[in-house]
Amino acid sequence: MEKESNTYSLETLPILVEQLLLMLKETKVLELHGEMGAGKTTLVIELLKKLGVKDPEGSPTYSLINEYPIANGLKIYHIDAFRINSSEEAYELGLDELFEENAYFFVEWAEKIINFLPERSVILTITTNASLTRTYSITHDHRS
């Protein structure tokens, strides 16, 4: 498992997005961890724009999943698992089958559906600093 931490501001977010997209070429699953208001959705919107999504919606807090087709034929699923309270709810949403697709998955509050996530993912933990910057810790995870 590889881990690195860097501090970014909103102005340097495009650098982080480029780095994440390189890491996501293989696994296509990004788990986002961080407290409410840490900037998970802001980061996902930047990723969506970089992947060619014209009008990305905000967080799918109430719909739980936003789906975006992209030019290369793949899809992107932006999942906000905040309101999922049990494995049964996740199963009823079809998450077990959804993660079998060849698609990008950007998952906010991933810890709530950890049992449904693929073995390999990029884990991004966002910590808010007093200077209003964010520290982004990136881990390449391989669960077994």
Q: What is the C-alpha separation between 56 and 22, in angstroms, rounded?
A: 21
Query: Element (H or E) spanning 13, and its range?
Result: helix 13-27
Q: 14-127: which CATH number, 3.20.20.100, 1.10.10.10, 3.40.50.300, 3.20.20.450?
A: 3.40.50.300
Query: Residue 81: its pLDDT value, please?
Result: 94
3-state secondary structure of 108: strand
Contact between residue 61 and residue 40 where contact means Cβ atoms under 8 Å apart: no
Query: Which token pair is 18?
Result: 């480029």
Q: What is the C-alpha separation between 91 and 72, in angstroms, rounded?
A: 29
Query: Which token pair is 99?
Result: 């993660």
Q: Work out the pLDDT band at 133, boundaries 50, 70, 90.
A: confident
33 vs 72, more confident: 33
Query: Residue 144: its pLDDT value, please?
Result: 43
Q: Work out the pLDDT band at 111, boundaries 50, 70, 90.
A: very high
In the chain, what percentage of residues exceed pLDDT 90? 48
Q: What is the pTM of this model?
A: 0.87
The pairing of strands 104-108 and 29-34 is parallel
Contact between residue 53 and residue 139 where contact means Cβ atoms under 8 Å apart: no
- If you compute the radius of gyration of the chain from its CA atoms, what whole number of angstroms results? 14
3-state secondary structure of 64: coil
**pLDDT at position 70 over 80:** yes
Mean pLDDT over each residue of the chain, to the nearest integer: 85
**pLDDT at position 1 over 70:** no
**pLDDT at position 130 over 90:** no
Query: Residue 137: its pLDDT value, please?
Result: 81
